[in-house]
């Protein structure tokens, strides 16, 4: 039975008014005086619960900024690479209302007539939320003003400039350290407790440590290891707690996918924090119509090629791997591939026969399965929980931090990365073997890895595969300084030329590619396959023509192509965003950096 938290958002949170400076110089517009409201634990809980903000199943559509997908959406980083970006047309991200709400609590919670431990618990949660707020800010802008309290209209800090990244990052760590030491382990289901705080702590430390290591433009490389050590330490303490374990029932073809299609994750040993959905309890979310590959995003071939073979060998070592068709490239692969993408032979409810991939214009032909609920029941569709934090992230954070520090051992690999590989039924990753024989394809993708090369590449492979479509990849590319990978236009399925193709894996043709100049026959004239089913017709040609499927070499075949624009990733400028020009006009002390 699920437990539910019904959140009442008090006026002090819900009616905070933003001002012309982004919400920093106005007091909450509420009839409740802080001297009257912050009296007891119920008051503290009510306010802090009103700050709860968690990712949901829309996350499965948030890989559009990464190289995992092709997208037709107006994604900011793609628009920047192909257009003319400046501080006048990039106007988002400089909102401070949430911070104002958090700091208002932190200025008033001590008034409550409760024990200091109770006060510290709720202050810890508020500081956890503040750390998350500022982590997002430094990811986008690097140097930003640090505000530890609310501001009045007369405050001189209202017009201060950016604070250095070092100060802001150290303040984030201080907030998370306090929260980790003071937030309770036992909290209402679906809300962050001690271990959720610890997860963000480890995540933030890994992000900043690797960012400082690989981004020479911020000038903080000498302190990178301090953050990496913190990431390894906190992740190690979560592991040592024994509170969590990888969800593994011995079914490698099902266990991974169950994490993203479960009606109840509250008792799952791998899930550290759950966003609970149940339509019968008034909270549902159905993303089927957008997640399946018919809307805005479709998986990229480069992601498919990253998955290993079932025996642990590299797919990219197989002869002619780049020319393999859809059915062949899904054979004998890491089982996570078929739990993340629609595979040959997959049956979509309520159909009785295998689904045939749709080759829509500007899409790759591949369809995303992670996040899709294979049902027609409305309660089921709306009742799948979302894993906000997974223990798998802790294991990979632990392994990556130690590998970057140069101290990773085989035993530590066995208690981290290899637990994920065993869940998938893959052989263990061997440290010595990996370093002796680094993947040449990954070496080309990640050329700035200079030591522990083989094992770091394999850990990065695991992160990409394990967290595909969970909104991790873009941040990973940014912290590893690999924005150049976004400059490559995504491609899709490979077809050797015109003709008939089997897409369901039964050896019977399902579609036919004809020349773009040919006419698709009327329904009663369409050719049927050996099962008596009409073939699906597509007119093949190059992008920009009136073809119905775009191939790299037109009717001579090649990969499906999704766009013909030239992408350019400017380093280091495009790792950051400008402060919106309107804000600079209001506060001239805010200066643009990194070429903006």
> pLDDT per residue over 274-296, tens digit each?
999 999 999 999 999 999 866 78
Give this prediction's pTM: 0.94
H or E stretch covering 550? strand 549-550
Model pLDDT, residue 84? 84
Tell me whether residue 406 is in a domain: no
Tell me whether residue 329 is in a domain: no
Residue with tokens 């045939």: 356
Model pLDDT, residue 361? 87
- Under 8 Å CB-to-CB from 237, ≥6 apart: which residues? 198
Query: Domain count of the chain?
Result: 2
Model pLDDT, residue 360? 86
- Domain ends where: 220, 238, 257? 220
Tell me whether residue 585 is in a domain: no
- What digits encode the pLDDT tens for the residues 362-393? 899 999 999 999 999 999 999 999 999 999 99
Question: Phi and psi at residue 32, in whole multiples of 5°?
Answer: -95, 115
- Under 8 Å CB-to-CB from 123, ≥6 apart: which residues? 105, 106, 109, 178, 182
Residue with tokens 């004809």: 514
- What digits encode the pLDDT tens for the residues 486-525? 999 999 999 999 999 999 999 999 999 999 999 999 999 9
Question: Phi and psi at residue 100, in whole multiples of 5°?
Answer: -60, -40
Residue with tokens 């980790």: 180
How many C-beta neighbours within 10 Å does residue 420 have? 23
Range of the domain at 23: 11-71+88-220
Model pLDDT, residue 36? 81
- What digits encode the pLDDT tens for the residues 172-200? 999 999 999 999 999 999 999 999 999 99
Spatial separation of the C-alpha atoms in residues 191 and 186, rounded to whole Å: 10
H or E stretch covering 203? helix 194-214
Tell me whether residue 405 is in a domain: no
Spatial separation of the C-alpha atoms in residues 336 and 260, rounded to whole Å: 12
Tell me whether residue 327 is in a domain: no
- What digits encode the pLDDT tens for the residues 207-229? 999 999 999 999 999 999 999 99
**C-alpha count within 13 angstroms, C-beta hemisphere, residue 457:** 27
- Domain ends where: 160, 188, 220? 220
Tell me whether residue 390 is in a domain: no
pLDDT at 467 over 90: yes
Q: Which two tokens stand for residue 80?
A: 């920047």
Tell me whether residue 202 is in a domain: yes
- What digits encode the pLDDT tens for the residues 88-118? 999 999 999 999 999 999 999 999 999 999 9
Q: Which two tokens stand for residue 461?
A: 């492979």
Give me the DSSP letters along 38-94.
Answer: --SHHHHHHHHHTT-----GGGGGGGGGSTTEEE-S--HHHHHHHS---TTT---S-
Contact 489, 561 (CB under 8 A): yes
Residue with tokens 């130690």: 402
Spatial separation of the C-alpha atoms in residues 256 and 250, rounded to whole Å: 11
Model pLDDT, residue 2? 39
- Domain ends where: 538, 556, 574? 556
Residue with tokens 């006419």: 519
H or E stretch covering 404? helix 391-405
Contact 470, 59 (CB under 8 A): yes
* CATH assignment of the domain containing 142: 1.25.40.390
Model pLDDT, residue 293? 66
How many C-beta neighbours within 10 Å does residue 595 have? 12
Spatial separation of the C-alpha atoms in residues 569 and 581, rounded to whole Å: 22
- What digits encode the pLDDT tens for the residues 344-362? 999 999 999 999 999 988 8
CA 249 from centre of chain: 26
Percent share of the chain, pLDDT over 70: 94
Tell me whether residue 135 is in a domain: yes
């Amino acid at each position: 039975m699920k437990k539910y938290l019904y959140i009442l958002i008090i006026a002090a949170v819900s009616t905070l008014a933003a001002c012309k400076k982004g919400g920093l110089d106005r007091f909450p517009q509420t009839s409740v005086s802080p001297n009257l409201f912050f009296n007891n634990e119920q008051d503290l809980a009510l306010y802090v619960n009103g700050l709860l903000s968690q990712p949901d199943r829309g996350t499965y559509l948030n890989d559009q900024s990464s190289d995992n997908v092709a997208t037709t959406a107006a994604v900011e980083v793609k628009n920047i690479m192909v257009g003319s970006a400046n501080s006048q047309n990039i106007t988002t991200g400089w909102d401070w209302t949430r911070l104002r709400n958090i700091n208002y609590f932190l200025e008033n919670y001590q008034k409550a007539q409760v024990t200091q431990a109770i006060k510290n618990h709720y202050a810890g949660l508020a500081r956890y939320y503040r750390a998350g707020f500022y982590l997002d800010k430094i990811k986008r802008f690097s140097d930003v003003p640090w505000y530890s309290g609310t501001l009045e209209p007369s405050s001189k800090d209202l017009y201060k400039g950016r604070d250095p990244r070092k100060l802001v990052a150290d303040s984030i760590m201080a907030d998370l350290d306090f929260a980790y030491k003071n937030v309770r382990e036992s909290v209402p289901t679906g809300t962050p407790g001690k271990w959720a705080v610890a997860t963000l702590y480890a995540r933030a430390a890994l992000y900043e440590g690797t960012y400082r290591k690989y981004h020479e433009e911020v000038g903080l490389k000498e302190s990178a290891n301090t953050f990496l050590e913190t990431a390894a330490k906190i992740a190690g303490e979560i592991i040592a707690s024994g509170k969590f374990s990888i969800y593994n029932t011995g079914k490698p073809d099902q266990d991974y996918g169950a994490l993203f299609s479960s009606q109840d994750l509250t008792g799952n040993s791998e899930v550290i924090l759950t966003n609970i959905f149940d339509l019968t309890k008034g909270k549902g979310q159905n993303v089927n119509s957008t997640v399946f590959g018919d809307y805005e995003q479709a998986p990229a071939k480069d992601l498919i090629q990253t998955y290993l073979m079932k025996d642990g060998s590299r797919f990219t070592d197989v002869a002619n791997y780049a020319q393999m068709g859809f059915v062949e490239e899904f054979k004998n692969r890491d089982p996570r591939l078929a739990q993340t993408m629609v595979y040959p032979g997959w049956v979509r409810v309520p159909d009785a026969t295998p689904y045939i991939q749709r080759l829509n214009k500007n899409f790759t032909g591949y369809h995303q399965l992670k996040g899709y609920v294979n049902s027609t029941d409305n309660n089921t569709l709306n009742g799948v929980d979302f894993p906000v934090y997974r223990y798998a992230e802790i294991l990979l954070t632990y392994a990556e931090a130690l590998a970057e520090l140069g101290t990773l051992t085989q035993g530590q690999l066995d208690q981290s990365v290899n637990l994920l590989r065993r869940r998938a039924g893959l052989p263990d990753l061997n440290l010595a073997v990996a370093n002796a024989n680094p993947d040449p394809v990954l070496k080309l993708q990640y050329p700035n890895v200079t030591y522990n090369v083989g094992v770091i590449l394999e850990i990065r492979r695991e992160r990409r595969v394990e967290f595909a479509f969970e909104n991790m990849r873009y941040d990973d590319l940014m912290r590893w300084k690999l924005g150049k990978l976004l400059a490559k236009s995504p491609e899709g399925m490979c077809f050797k030329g015109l003709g008939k193709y089997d897409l369901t894996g039964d050896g019977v043709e399902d579609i036919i590619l004809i020349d773009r100049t040919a006419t698709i026959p009327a329904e009663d004239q369409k050719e049927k396959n050996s099962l008596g089913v009409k073939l699906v017709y597509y007119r093949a040609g190059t992008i920009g023509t009136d073809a119905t499927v775009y191939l790299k070499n037109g009717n001579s075949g090649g990969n499906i192509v999704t766009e013909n624009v030239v992408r350019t990733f400017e380093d280091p400028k495009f790792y950051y965003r400008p402060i919106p020009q309107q804000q600079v006009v209001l506060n001239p002390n805010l200066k643009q950096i990194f070429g903006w």
